[in-house]
């Protein structure tokens, strides 16, 4: 039981960090836990998705408060990343949040959603759907 909690907790935090400040590889962590038989596949999917979505919520919140944080040393997004994500978001609109799981542009995209004041519920639904589908595909491929 304690081992399972450690597995789920590790995956949750890895997925959370992957969506925020550190370049964590949550897809590989999920695949490794699935291959090793550690944890139930559905729970692994839920913990990975929850961690990654909550990390995106942090980005969205930071987007609302960006003027307070953008000059801080620890702030995870460069002006170039923010500009690239803004252009992408303006070009494709709110539906681009389905691709918030993509490397490089996904995390800044969730920040830009906050900057552009995308309402929370549509943000949450689209980001959760995209991230759940991504992790579900990994579960299907590995199993």
Which tens digits make up the pLDDT trace of 12-34?
999 999 998 666 789 999 999 99
Q: Which residues contact 47 (CB under 8 A, 6 or more apart)?
A: 8, 9, 11, 12, 15
Write down the mean pLDDT value for the chain: 89
User: Residue 48: is it exposed, middle or buried by C-beta count within 10 angstroms (0-12/13-18/19+)?
Assistant: buried
Asked if the model's pLDDT at residue 89 lies above 90, the reply is: no
Reply yes or no on whether the pLDDT at 87 is more than 70. Answer: yes
Q: How many domains does the chain have?
A: 1
In this predicted structure, what is the pLDDT of residue 100?
93
Q: What is the pTM of this model?
A: 0.86
Q: Is the pLDDT of residue 98 over 80?
A: yes
Per-residue pLDDT at 1:
59
Average pLDDT, integer, range 81-85: 76
Q: Which residues contact 108 (CB under 8 A, 6 or more apart)?
A: 59, 77, 81, 82, 84, 85
Which domain, by its residues, includes 63?
2-142
DSSP H helices, the chain, are 2-19, 26-36, 41-64, 66-69, 79-92, 106-115, 120-142
**Tens-digit pLDDT profile for residues 32-72:** 999 999 999 999 999 999 999 999 999 999 888 886 777 77
* Residue 43 vs residues 1, 16, 35, 38, 127: alpha-carbon distances, Å: 13, 16, 14, 11, 19
């Amino acid at each position: 039981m304690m081992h399972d909690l450690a597995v789920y907790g590790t995956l949750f935090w890895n997925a959370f960090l992957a969506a925020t400040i550190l370049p964590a590889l949550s897809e590989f962590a999920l695949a490794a836990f699935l291959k090793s038989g550690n944890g139930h596949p559905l729970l692994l999917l839920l913990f990975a998705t929850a961690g990654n979505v909550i990390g995106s919520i942090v980005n969205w919140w930071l987007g609302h408060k960006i003027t307070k944080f953008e000059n801080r040393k620890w702030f995870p997004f460069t002006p170039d990343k923010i500009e690239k994500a803004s252009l992408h978001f303006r070009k494709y609109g709110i539906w681009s949040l389905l691709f918030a799981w993509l490397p490089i542009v996904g995390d800044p995209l969730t920040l830009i959603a906050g900057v552009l004041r995308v309402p929370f519920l549509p943000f949450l639904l689209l980001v959760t759907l995209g991230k759940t589908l991504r992790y579900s595909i990994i579960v299907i491929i590995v199993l």
